[in-house]
């Protein structure tokens, strides 16, 4: 095989035969993926992570398609079941660094129950949830995180439901690290993901993303730059935010920051402790 030619600094982490991605022009997911790869790259350069032990899992959706483009071991599983698959892999081989990526529909909607119980058990996983407020791949249907009053394909008169705040939900359980970042501030995604890679237990990062095609156009934003600027206006970064402030609302603003950082014993540590006692 011919020698692969790397041009972009992140090319060695990508499967170049699958680039360009299938994402629409201006999609925020690529920004999130690049930031995550930068954090992983610096961890690998430090020597604290072995690239052969990194394992990506994705369910169904645009965000979960990310596992197709990374040059690591990856699995593409059924809708919403990325977290159980990753738990199985981690329990079989606790040395794995499992990274679960998925959208809000995949992780909070279809797989919501799995998210609850993985966070309750504090399993050694990193879950990165990309919130773009709709089910984007299937055409922009209403999702559990869609803000109230927003017009989508299935709610043409405005969404009547109250949205779900996944950060508050996971914080109420036993997760070790909970943060929220936005694709308009990619440095924070990199910083939080870098920090999450060095911790144990259940780590949850919500990345607020922009979907210019099926979310932005339906609310009257005509191009990706408008969508990006509109999201940038609504994001408020609070470095030391408390969990009560973790609002995610299209009108009142989206608060980003680190909300939980604690060192509870992880599931695998508890299992090993019990086994040694027996």
Minimum CB–partner distance for residue 161 and another protein (Å): 29
The residues that bridge with 101 in the sheet, in sequence order, are: 58, 128
Asked if 233 interacts with another protein (CB under 8 A), we say no
Asked if 222 interacts with another protein (CB under 8 A), we say no
DSSP class of residue 200 equals -
Q: Considering only residues 56-115, where is the footprint of another protein by CB under 8 A?
A: none
Which listed residue (78, 225, 243, 270) binds another protein by CB under 8 A? 225
Q: Considering only residues 22-61, where is the footprint of another protein by CB under 8 A?
A: 23-31, 34-35
Stretch that binds another protein, among 158-166, 172-180, 194-202, 222-230 (CB under 8 A): 222-230
Asked if 8 interacts with another protein (CB under 8 A), we say yes
Give 47 or 220: the residue with its C-beta nearer to another protein.
220
Cβ 140 vs Cβ 113: under 8 Å: no
Asked if 220 interacts with another protein (CB under 8 A), we say no
Output Rg (C-alpha) for the chain, integer angstroms: 18
Minimum CB–partner distance for residue 21 and another protein (Å): 7
What tokens were used for 227?
């969508």
Q: How many C-beta atoms lie closer than 10 Å to residue 210's C-beta?
A: 26
Strands 253-261 and 177-182: antiparallel
Q: Considering only residues 168-187, where is the footprint of another protein by CB under 8 A?
A: 186-187
Nearest CA to 230 out of 29, 32, 36, 26 is that of: 26
What are the distances in angstroms from CA 132 to CA 60, 163, 206, 216, 259? Answer: 14, 13, 10, 10, 20
Binding residues (CB under 8 A) for another protein: these are 1-5, 7-11, 14, 16-17, 19-21, 23-31, 34-35, 186-187, 212, 223-225, 228-229
């Amino acid at each position: 095989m011919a020698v692969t030619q790397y041009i972009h600094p992140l090319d060695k982490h990508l499967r170049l035969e699958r680039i360009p991605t299938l994402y629409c022009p201006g999609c925020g997911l690529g920004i999130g993926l690049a930031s995550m790869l930068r954090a992983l790259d610096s961890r690998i350069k430090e020597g604290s992570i072995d690239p052969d032990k990194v394992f990506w899992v994705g369910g169904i959706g645009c965000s979960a398609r990310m596992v197709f483009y990374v040059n690591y071991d990856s699995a593409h599983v059924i809708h919403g079941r990325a977290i159980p698959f990753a738990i199985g892999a981690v329990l079989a081989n606790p040395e794995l660094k499992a990274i679960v990526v998925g959208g809000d529909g995949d992780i909070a909607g279809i797989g919501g129950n799995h998210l609850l119980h993985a966070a309750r058990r504090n399993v050694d996983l990193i879950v990165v949830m990309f919130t773009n407020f709709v089910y984007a791949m299937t055409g922009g249907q209403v999702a559990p995180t869609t803000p109230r009053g927003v017009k989508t394909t299935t709610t043409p008169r405005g969404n009547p439901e109250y949205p779900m705040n996944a950060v508050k939900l996971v914080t109420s359980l036993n997760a070790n690290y909970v943060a929220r970042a936005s694709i308009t501030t990619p440095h924070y995604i990199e910083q939080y993901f870098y920090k999450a890679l060095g911790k144990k237990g259940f780590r949850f990062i919500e990345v607020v993303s922009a979907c210019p095609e099926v979310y932005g156009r339906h609310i009257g934003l005509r191009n990706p730059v408008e969508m990006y600027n509109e999201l940038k206006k609504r994001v408020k970064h609070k470095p030391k935010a408390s969990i009560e402030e973790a609002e995610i609302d299209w009108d009142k603003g989206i608060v980003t920051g680190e909300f939980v950082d604690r060192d509870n014993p992880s599931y695998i540590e508890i299992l090993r402790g019990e086994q040694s006692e027996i």
